[in-house]
Amino acid sequence: MEQKEILLQVRDYRVAFYTREATVYAVNGINYDLHKGETLGIVGESGSGKTVSCMSMLKLISMPPGKIDSGSVLFGGVDLAKLKRDKIRPYRGKEIGVIFQDPMTAFNQVITIGEQMIEGHMAHFRSSRKEALARALSLFELVGIPSPESRLKDYPFQFSGGMRQRAMIAMALMCDPKMLIADEPTTALDVTIQAQIVDLVKDLRKQIGTSIIWISHDLGVVASLADRVMVMYAGYIIESASSDDLYERPLHPYTKGLLESLPSMNEDASKRLTSIGGMPPYMNKLNIGCPFAPRCKHVMDKCLKENPLLKPISADHLVACFLM
């Protein structure tokens, strides 16, 4: 990125869940910047902290048991991490739009989509019903929902999966947010519909220029969308690079392993897939060494004693590994 303006700056951000049974360390000190107009992909397996790290910024996780332990999230000069619950509301939807994974559960089933869309706009901008409806209509057109006027009066269950996700995107854009958080927005969709949505987002990005954080477990989807990709594992960022660089030259053994374990669509499939042995750790205690060490093929003594920090290898490629 050429010296673009920084929109979101996350520093030493830690989130943990404290329940009576156990403490789960979900996000363990992550640092990153999101630039204006940039699309940042966050990739990781379930439990890697990718969703928690983003949703907790807007306090969209249940707190308690969740708690932001330390760190700062600077957004337009304001530290979101330190804001009280009621002070965060203006940011939700207005400054930062959210697209959820499952549009079926994200909508209220007994209120028309149109009503749900204008609600936020009217609250944030004190706009009239008419203005808000006009905005909703233009967004429905933008996201390619056919016969938008009548569809605004429909209930969520009358939409198909793909259309519902389009409506969800339109709703997230209602207040013209500076930034969008998309939490696995295509995971619940079929491949052909997924391709439609990805195309739509690419188009929208060109037209509106919002920054996007795209959370996904699917390396394929992220590849086609993101400018920069961060790989998370056990609550740590273990690698961060421009997407071209990451897919071409993955450096962390985990990233390499993930890419190798995908069945290839290009060459004729070889007999066996290279798999990463073991499984992701359950983070009920903070590890001393590298979190990936128990599964790593190249593990050294040092890896067990010390947790590697995220260090730049080249200008825009950061890796947390002692091998580098």
Partner 1 sequence: MRNDMRTLVEIDNLHVHFPVTQGIIFKKKINEVKAVDGVSFSIRQGETMGLVGESGCGKTTTGRAILRLLDITDGTITFDGTDISKLSKKEMLPMRLRMQMIFQDPYASLNPRQSVIDIISDPLLAHRLIDRSERKDRVSDLMSMVGLDPRFMNRFPHEFSGGQRQRIGIARSLALNPEFIVCDEPIAALDVSIQAQIINLLQDLQEKIGLTYLFIAHDLSVVRHISDRIAVMYLGVIVEIAKKSALFSNPLHPYTKILLSAVPKPDPKTERQRKRIMLKGEIPSPLHKPKGCPFSTRCPYALPRCKDELPLLRTFDDDHQVACHLIKES
Contact 236, 28 (CB under 8 A): yes
> Cβ 147 to partner 1, closest distance in Å?
13
Among 6, 88, 104, 276, interactor with partner 1 by CB under 8 A = 276
Instruction: Using DSSP, state whether 53 is helix, strand or coil.
Output: helix
Between residues 5 and 268, which has the closer beta carbon with respect to partner 1? 268
Burial code (b: 16+ CB inside 10 Å, e: under 16) for 186-205 equals: bebbeeebbebbbebbeebb
> Cβ 207 to partner 1, closest distance in Å?
18
Contact 180, 172 (CB under 8 A): yes
Question: Positive or negative, the Cα torsion across 193, 196, 198, 201?
Answer: negative
> Cβ 21 to partner 1, closest distance in Å?
13
Among 114, 120, 162, 289, interactor with partner 1 by CB under 8 A = 162
The answer to whether residue 224 forms part of the interface with partner 1 (CB under 8 A) is: yes
The answer to whether residue 101 forms part of the interface with partner 1 (CB under 8 A) is: no
Roughly how many angstroms between the first and final C-alpha of the chain, as a whole number? 23
Question: Positive or negative, the Cα torsion across 65, 66, 71, 74?
Answer: negative
> Cβ 53 to partner 1, closest distance in Å?
17
For partner 1, what does the binding mask look like between residues 256 and 275, x meaning CB under 8 A?
Answer: -xxx-xxxxxx-xx-xxxxx
The answer to whether residue 89 forms part of the interface with partner 1 (CB under 8 A) is: no
Residue 298, amino acid: H
Beta bridge partners of 211: 179
Between residues 54 and 198, which has the closer beta carbon with respect to partner 1? 198
Structure tokens that stand for 303 in this block: 């890896």
The answer to whether residue 160 forms part of the interface with partner 1 (CB under 8 A) is: yes
The answer to whether residue 108 forms part of the interface with partner 1 (CB under 8 A) is: no
Instruction: Compute CA distances 180 → 104, 157, 164, 215, 282, whole Å.
Output: 19, 24, 17, 11, 29
Instruction: Using DSSP, state whether 195 is helix, strand or coil.
Output: helix
Among 196, 256, 294, 304, interactor with partner 1 by CB under 8 A = 196
Sole window of 9-17, 118-126, 150-158, 246-254 interacting with partner 1 (rule: CB under 8 A): 246-254
> Cβ 10 to partner 1, closest distance in Å?
24
Sole window of 11-19, 76-84, 250-258, 308-316 interacting with partner 1 (rule: CB under 8 A): 250-258
Torsion of CA 45, 50, 52, 53, to 10 degrees: 160
Residues in the chain: 324
Residue 45, amino acid: E
> Cβ 48 to partner 1, closest distance in Å?
9
Among 9, 92, 155, 161, interactor with partner 1 by CB under 8 A = 161
Between residues 70 and 282, which has the closer beta carbon with respect to partner 1? 282
The answer to whether residue 218 forms part of the interface with partner 1 (CB under 8 A) is: yes
Among 19, 22, 46, 288, interactor with partner 1 by CB under 8 A = 46
The answer to whether residue 21 forms part of the interface with partner 1 (CB under 8 A) is: no
The answer to whether residue 217 forms part of the interface with partner 1 (CB under 8 A) is: yes
Between residues 62 and 275, which has the closer beta carbon with respect to partner 1? 275
Cα separation, 230 vs 206, in Å, equals: 22
Cα separation, 154 vs 319, in Å, equals: 48
How many other CB atoms are found less than 10 A from the CB of residue 137? 18
Question: Positive or negative, the Cα torsion across 108, 114, 115, 119?
Answer: positive
Q: Rule CB under 8 A: which residues touch partner 1?
A: 45-46, 160-163, 190-196, 198-199, 217-221, 223-224, 226, 243-244, 247-248, 254, 257-259, 261-266, 268-269, 271-277, 279-280
